[in-house]
Chain A
Amino acid sequence: MIKTWLKGTSLLYKKEIKDSFLSPFVYILSGLFIALGGWVFFSLLVSAKNATEATLTASVLIPSFSLYRFILMIICPLLTMRLLSEEKKNHTIELLYLSDLNNSQIIFSKFLSSLTIVVFMLGLTTLFPAILGFSGYSDWGVVLSGYGGLVLLCMAYISIGLFASSLSSNYVICLVLAIFMMLGLWFLVLSAGNTDNYLVGLILRYFSETYHFESFARGTVRSFNFVYFFSFVTFFMFLTGKSLNSRRW
């Protein structure tokens, strides 16, 4: 049972990965990401006054993770916008519907393929902390938690993007939808700061991914941060499944 599920998922996953890495799109995005990321990292480094371990963590690493996050907010929907919309546009989704694959396999394989690409891109940026490491920096706990947080954040963004991609056969619309959904979440944390009601503020903050990501970036992770991200991803995958079902015309 699980074996056939994995077999189908990996078949589709391989196809997606092959498609992605054969097109220049992924390389262009990776290039832009590492260029921007590098620029951010080194300008923070230059502006850091005295390079002690504590100041490096506080004024270089933590801010650079926060800035990566904004770049990923654009990159993730760019990666996911075509995933389902193109299958719809080309009618190949019908091929998948009529095969042995079910919705969960379609959704997971697409999710994983995007995650693979994002992890590949993030992997490129580990070069920067590694350079710090050569010059004696050793607070790896923060680095690890920061990257862990970014990966979880990307999982959330990819699940939003995948859901958006299931809503239309036009990928520009999917892109715009995904970006608006992410902005909506981000505004939650802003309005949480504006409300006078402590409880409402707390709830709004809990629902915003920014709040949870910041725990990772600072290296103060709690288990509910994980719970948040996993329920987030599950919820959007569930919605994607619903959307695929209803779109069987």
Chain B
Amino acid sequence: MDGGHALDKAIELINVSKLYPGVSALTDVTFSVKKGSVHGFLGPNGAGKSTTMNIITGLIPPTGGTVKVFGEDVQANPESARRKIGFLPEHAPLYENMKVSEYLKFVQSINSLRSTVNSDDYLETLELCGLTEVSHRLIKNLSKGFRQRVAIAQALIGRPEIVILDEPTVGLDPKAIVEIRELIYSLREKHTILLSTHILHEVNLICDHITIINKGIITSTGPIHEIQGGEEGTQIILAEVLNWKDELRPVLFRDLPLEDLLVEKSGSDTRLTFKLKGKDDYRGWISDILVKNQCSLLQLSKQTVDVENLFKSATAEKPTKGRVQ
């Protein structure tokens, strides 16, 4: 790997795993966040998003594997990684009894103990996050939306190169969600952003790269357009037949670049979901095979893979009950 390439990666995780007593929270997690990108980190509840983020920031140690921030090992040099990262943890770390400006000033001062310059960075951050009007109010009296802004502001103090946000829009009303999203979107020019969410629509709106995690395993990662069915993308074809024969399964797997085939019985019909690799149109082939085997093909359609489908297929429980024996 050449040096320039390495520096292109703001964050790099290599085979990171995390074992909690009795639970394997992460298994061989490998992905990287490109410098300057807005990277969405998607996964259902309990997938390991927060665990991954806590490991990247050095808050908790991984059980195995390496995390690099701008090429530097976080475990070996936690100090320098910490300086480059601003972090909004899952639970906003707010001191309820402080005023907004007092809090941000406090955060700034505990993060700049070694610097001799007296900057008023926190004032800029107040303005950037739209907090000027509430700067003299106690944090405990703020609305949830404003509290979340304060928590984001806290992550931006000191202008870190990387900003990591763990579910920044969770629990907010629709208006506040839009405002927070706009705030995040406005940060993308100056910061590399990694944000976790389980709102898929959000990813489509603000992210240019995504990583999907389920049960501690990365299921896909890359630029969003690539994942949405580019060169290496997957495509999904849906078919409905009247007479499904299970013997066909090996035939289909032999003749098609099939990754997965889901068979669900619904009433008298059987619904088939083909997950295929490649960009050719396989509908003709599929219909040929099905017709030749007298399956009584009812319907055949190609589905464009958007994040939502990808997410669904990545995180679906492998349905044993729906499968025809």
Contact = CB atoms under 8 A, between A and B. Distances in A.
Partners in one complex: yes
Interface in A200-233: none
A4 to B, nearest CB: 5
Interface in A81-98: 90-98
A22 interface: yes
Given A4-B114, A8-B110, A100-B113, A248 B96 contact: no
Contacts of B97: 19, 22
Given A248-B59, A248-B60, A248-B61, A98 B95 contact: no
Nearest to A249: B60
A98 B96 contact: no
Contact of B93 (A7, A91, A248, A249): A91
Contacts, number: 59
Contact of A98 (B57, B92, B109, B112): B57
The number of chain A residues touching the other chain, given as a range, is 20 to 34
A125 B14 CA distance: 62
A22 B95 CA distance: 14
A101 B93 contact: no
Interface of A is mostly: helix
A172 to B, nearest CB: 19
Nearest to A1: B114
B89 interface: yes
Interface in A56-114: 90-101
Contacts of B59: 94, 97-98, 248-249
18 contacts: A11-B109, A11-B113, A12-B110, A15-B106, A90-B96, A91-B89, A92-B93, A93-B93, A94-B91, A98-B58, A98-B59, A98-B87, A99-B107, A99-B110, A99-B111, A100-B111, A248-B61, A249-B60
Given A91-B91, A99-B107, A99-B110, 7 more contacts: A22-B97, A90-B94, A90-B96, A98-B82, A248-B59, A248-B61, A249-B59
Pairs of residues from A and B, 7 with the lowest C-beta to C-beta distance, nearest first = A99-B110, A91-B91, A100-B113, A95-B93, A249-B60, A92-B93, A91-B93
